[in-house]
Amino acid sequence: MDRYWQANAVGDAPEIPADNPAGFPANGNPAAGITGTVPGEWWYHAITEELRNAIVALGVSPDYTQTDQLANAITAAAYAAGVSLETFGAAGDGVTPDDDAIARAVATGRPIITRTNAVYLMRQTAVVEGGVFILRGHGTFRLTDNQIVNTDDDETHFTPLFRLQGMSWIDISECTFDGNREGQVYPATASRPGRGSNPFRHNGLVEVCPDATGTRPSQHVYVHNSAFLNAYLNGLVLWQVRDAWIAGNTFRDSTWNGACGAGLRNVQFFRNNGYRCGDTSMFGSMQQTGDRALIQVREFANTFTTDSEGIPCMTSGEFAHGGINRFVGFTENYGEECGVETIFGRAIMGLSGGSNRSYNVGYGRDTNGPFYPAHIWFEICEGHNRGNIGYQDRVRPGDAQPDGMVAYAMTGDASALFPFVGNYTLDVRGARMTSAKDANGQPVPGLLNRGLRISSNVSADFSFIDGTDQDGIYGTNFNSFELPPVCIHDSSANSCTIIHTNQNQDLAVAGGPIQLARYGPDTGGVPTNIFALNCTVDGGKPVIVFNGNLNNVAFPPVNVTFSDGPGNVNATSDMVFHSQDATFYRQVRNTYIGANAVAGFQAQSNGGNQLLAGTTSSLYSGALGVPLSAFVHASGANTGGLFVTASGGPLIMRPGGSRAMTLFASGHVRIGSNATDDGNALQMEGAIGLRAYTVATLPVSPSGIPFAYASDGRKVGQAAGAGTGVPVYYSGGQWRVFSTDAPVQT
């Protein structure tokens, strides 16, 4: 409503009357000469303004054409104010079950306001279907004892506190949800308590999922400044949710995850914190397997249905064949003493965020588990998550030693449980994974296993790894979802990267600051590029370990540039910063040399010296030589030398040129099959061929004292110009014949 006068309205409000006569209105009686009560201008004005001001105060713009504005505004204000659970009979005393009062409050569709410090006991799930759900206050919702009872014979039970299905808006703030896991019952040996084929993904204290028909997702979800405690499995579950902001929440003492999700779209996890998520002694049968984390996001598998999981699932449209997560961020979250990981993300296209922090991880992870735990783990992901920090200063007896960070880029061929095709990149630059120091400032062994484990197409620039027992950076392409083009593509450890390891001197046992492991079929010669490497490495340890004999396939070409920065190769700095012993620049381990068209392995130093190991069909088969079939380790009487076995015919040793061979030997060098030590520093069994020259073409001023054959040189007694050839040597500035020491002549 608004002011409205048919005629004769004026521009100014009437003046306030000087007094207010008492009494009530009455009709007049003209026959008796009694006049009726006259309302007057002030009465009309007061009534109109009172109603109009009420409408304005309730946030509505007055409209003279409407007659229900005040009623609607009062209704909206009452809705916004919410309803108290106590209005519907809730006790909130932590003793009396409050399920009926909670159900009645939920049915109103109005915001629910909890009483500060109230504890509302629940024996059953409050299910909300569609619409808006708002829950506020500082009260606690707690599951009563023995509401989840699972045995080895009957292990499929789970009771959430709230399940929100197909919601258009969810706003949960400042509430606490307590799963009371100590009051529930786990099976003794069965490994999957809870409903569904994979209960660890979707059994939680608060479950947000699609509608009952599996056609409409929940969206616009805001969960902030709340606490999820003592979850039987998970705290908060986001199941095929869109547009969610999960921020400032606390997750403590969850058996599996603090928060978990699958099939997400545009979801951000920001500044959440967790303690002992994924660590419990109450459920010990799964300590060796599975991922358990503060926050875990995984794929929506193509095997999931509403019937198989016991929770509404969308299985059409983008989820007809399973589904990945799109645009999911993890930013500035903090986890302490979590189970297998602090942050775990898998099958995410459009990963974002970073600066997550993890303090001690691997709690409750049995040492017999199939894989190491890790502070931060992104698997089959595309996007970036930079500047993450992991620190380890304790590993409990019986717990597994963690890695720092795992980063595997998204690569697929549509054959997995979730559909995507192609190779993508993952950026995890600036990771800092470290362990504690002792009183002398040295890394303490037994805390951090590896620093980074990375796959193809991952950028790990500017990483800082300190105090690992095994490899600082371990690169591999072993994952079954990946294609095998490269192990690490254009990854680098730049000048700010300092890698210390706790490795012992036995290089066969310990890895290296960077280890490249090859699995799977031959890569067809696609190279791995590592550039701008400038690491500080303990003496006697290799900077890079090539570990290739895992499927008996050839290691792909690896191009390594030791330098202070991109494009700046400095041999002196390489010697100083990379190792105390230049012979340990690189170690080749278990490398199988297959029948490629290219070298199976190539190592090149800054000075240009090369070792090329190929096959009998490709390398070392030029016109002047024969193929080399093998390099054999020295043994027996030749402990300091090298055996070179030719496949047949003479072995050509030529000074200079592309086929030069230089042997630096201590002890003896022997070429041939005889291994008997006869005291000679060099022995070759069979004839030794000398290069033939005419006298006129003998090399001018060669260095050393070389030998050659002058094909037209004169033997003793031959006439001038009739020489038929003679062996010669260079001495005193001239080529001379052996018999007379005279200069050779034609």
pLDDT band at 252 (very low <50, low <70, confident <90, very high): very high
pLDDT at 518: 45
- Number of structural domains (the chain) is 3
pLDDT at 249 over 50: yes
Q: Which of 29, 57, 81 is the last residue of a domain?
A: 81
Distance CA 544, CA 5 (A): 91
Q: Give yes or no: residues 685 and 696 share one domain.
A: no
Is 742 within the bounds of a domain?
no
Q: Give yes or no: residues 673 and 697 share one domain.
A: no
**How many Cα atoms are found within 13 Å in the side-chain-facing hemisphere of 520?**
17
Choose between 315 and 560: higher pLDDT: 315
pLDDT at 284 over 90: no
Q: How far is CA 516 from CA 128, 151, 579, in A?
A: 52, 46, 18
Is 382 within the bounds of a domain?
no
Pairing of strands 169-173, 219-224: parallel
Average pLDDT over the chain reads 77
pLDDT at 519: 44
Q: Give yes or no: residues 720 and 647 share one domain.
A: no
> Which residue from 44, 32, 39, 60 is spatially nearest to 3, judged by alpha carbons?
44
Q: Give yes or no: residues 677 and 698 share one domain.
A: no
Is 702 within the bounds of a domain?
yes
Q: Crossing angle, helix 40-57 and helix 69-81, to 10 degrees?
A: 40
Choose between 371 and 521: higher pLDDT: 371
pLDDT at 512: 45
pLDDT at 617: 27
pLDDT band at 177 (very low <50, low <70, confident <90, very high): very high
Choose between 198 and 524: higher pLDDT: 198
> Which residue from 654, 549, 633, 645 is spatially nearest to 591, judged by alpha carbons?
549
Q: Give yes or no: residues 733 and 669 share one domain.
A: no
pLDDT at 548: 46
Is 417 within the bounds of a domain?
no
> What are the tens digits of pLDDT across the range 262-282?
999 999 999 999 999 999 887
Distance CA 498, CA 272 (A): 30
Percent of the chain exceeding pLDDT 90 equals: 46
User: In 694-743, at which residue ranges do the beta strands (DSSP E only) sit?
Assistant: 707-710, 726-731, 734-737
pLDDT at 366: 82
Q: Give yes or no: residues 5 and 68 share one domain.
A: yes
- For the chain, the 3-state helix, strand and coil shares in percent, each to the nearest 5, are 10, 35, 55
- Judged on CB neighbours under 10 Å (0-12, 13-18, 19+), 171 is middle
pLDDT at 382 over 90: yes
Is 723 within the bounds of a domain?
yes
pLDDT band at 489 (very low <50, low <70, confident <90, very high): very low
pLDDT at 622: 29
pLDDT band at 578 (very low <50, low <70, confident <90, very high): very low
pLDDT at 496: 23
- Mean local confidence (pLDDT), 283-307: 88
pLDDT band at 493 (very low <50, low <70, confident <90, very high): very low
Tokens of 678: 């006869």
- Mean local confidence (pLDDT), 533-546: 44
Residue 375, Ramachandran bin (φ over 0: left; ψ between -120 and 50: alpha; else beta): alpha
Q: Which range (31-45, 311-325, 329-343, 371-385) has the least confidence?
A: 31-45
pLDDT at 608 over 90: no
Max intra-chain CA distance, the chain: 177
Distance CA 736, CA 745 (A): 9
Q: Give yes or no: residues 1 and 57 share one domain.
A: yes
Is 697 within the bounds of a domain?
yes
| Contacts of residue 612, Cβ cutoff 8 Å, sequence gap at least 6 | 599, 602, 619
Ranked by mean pLDDT, the top range of 100-109, 586-595, 656-665 is 100-109
- Look up residue 624 and give its amino acid: L
Q: Give yes or no: residues 682 and 732 share one domain.
A: no
> Which residue from 589, 534, 536 is spatially nearest to 563, judged by alpha carbons?
534
pLDDT at 708 over 70: yes
pLDDT at 544: 52
- In the numeric block, the tokens 């000048």 are attached to 495
Choose between 205 and 4: higher pLDDT: 205
pLDDT at 517: 52
Q: Give yes or no: residues 647 and 679 share one domain.
A: yes
Q: Which range (99-108, 231-240, 674-683, 717-726) has the least confidence?
A: 674-683
Residue 571 backbone phi and psi in degrees, to 5: -65, -35
pLDDT at 682: 60
> What are the tens digits of pLDDT across the range 397-444?
989 999 999 999 887 766 677 777 777 889 898 899 999 988 988 778
Is 49 within the bounds of a domain?
yes
- Mean local confidence (pLDDT), 330-346: 97
Structural domain of 675: 631-689
pLDDT at 115: 95
> Which residue from 474, 449, 471 is spatially nearest to 460, judged by alpha carbons?
474
Q: Which range (156-165, 337-346, 561-570) has the least confidence?
A: 561-570
Is 541 within the bounds of a domain?
no
Q: Give yes or no: residues 64 and 2 share one domain.
A: yes
Q: Give yes or no: residues 8 and 65 share one domain.
A: yes
pLDDT at 629: 35
> Which residue from 473, 454, 456, 457 is spatially nearest to 465, judged by alpha carbons?
473
pLDDT at 514 over 60: no
- In the numeric block, the tokens 């045995």 are attached to 151
